[in-house]
Amino acid sequence: MTSPQAADWKALYPFESNQLDLDGLRYHYIDEGSGPPLLMVHGNPTWSFYWRNLIVPFRDRFRTVAVDHIGCGLSDKPPRYPYTLSQHVANLGELIEQLDLRNLTLLAHDWGGAIALGAALRHADRVGRLVLFNTGAFPPPFIPLRIRACRTPVLGQFALRGLNLFARAAVHMAVEKPDRMTPAVRAGLLAPYDNWANRVAVDGFVRDIPMTRRHPTWQTLADIEAGLPSLAHLPVQLIWGMRDWCFTPACLSRFESLFPQAEVHRLEDAGHYVVEDAHERIVPLVNRFLESTASPASTV
């Protein structure tokens, strides 16, 4: 990162760091503002940096919390760790309890959807609303070839951890508006994943995608999907980049069947990193949703 723009990614992330101790591991999170809590849950290969354009406009009225999963962002990246969906769900649940988040709104993207919804099922009494972006919480209906290739023994791991191809490809292939990927934004998205050791969870997330029913995370996802009808009474907003090649419109349709009351917004010109492509449109959509679904309890 030699250019001034690349070195200046921290100016885009002007937040104070916080950490939760998880059995001796640093579990990093952002905690900005006060008011009803908004808990933002990222996927792979992003981190809390992905939520910066929602944290800033909402922290004046809400408590905006954005977590970095173990192995991601500014959290610890232990070389030997159960980088599994069930573990990430347990970690997020611990944060919800430790911060005593109540009547919270969960905002989730990519793998963060399964993690957030898994935690919501375990802590349903603390969850008031859901806002989901290009995600899934069910056994994958398909796995794109470019992701299956990352599972190739030896070569896949070398590509992900040695060459950082997964994260580097994402800053180009996950957006439809290349001008949004300025040097500083690219640098920010890639900053925590700058060497082999620091890419352990990027690889771990990919390997945790269940390709068959024999994979233990298949059942974890199936259990989460089976529990989702119990959350169907909640206000739900679905915001989808319709040019996503990974969490395609078919995934949106699956959520619409699970949450038939959901407020749905299809952004036809946005890709997988939908918040990068369209945050100017997303902020007012989320703001109206929060205002229209506010309850007396949510304003205490």
Nearest-10 Cα torsion for 110, 114, 120, 121: 160
Query: How does 133-163 read in b/e, with b if 16+ C-beta sit within 10 Å?
Result: bbbbbbbbeeeeeebeebbeeeebbebbbee
Residue 146, both tokens: 């470019």
42: number of Cβ within 10 Å: 26
Q: Which residues pair with 20 in a beta bridge?
A: 27
Active site residue 8: no
Q: On the CB side of 294, how many CA atoms lie within 13 Å of its CA? A: 16
Active site residue 272: yes
Distance, CA of 225 to CA of 47 (rounded, Å) = 24
Nearest-10 Cα torsion for 83, 215, 86, 69: 30
Angle between helices 111-122 and 216-227 (to 10 degrees): 60
Active site residue 244: yes
Distance, CA of 96 to CA of 90 (rounded, Å) = 10
Q: Could you say which of 28, 272, 277, 279 is catalytic?
A: 272
**Which among 241, 155, 235, 238 is positioned nearest to 203, based on CA atoms?**
155
Q: Could you say which of 31, 68, 110, 203 is catalytic?
A: 110
Q: Could you say which of 31, 68, 208, 244 is catalytic?
A: 244
**Which among 210, 200, 212, 216 is positioned nearest to 166, based on CA atoms?**
200
Residues classed as catalytic:
110, 244, 272
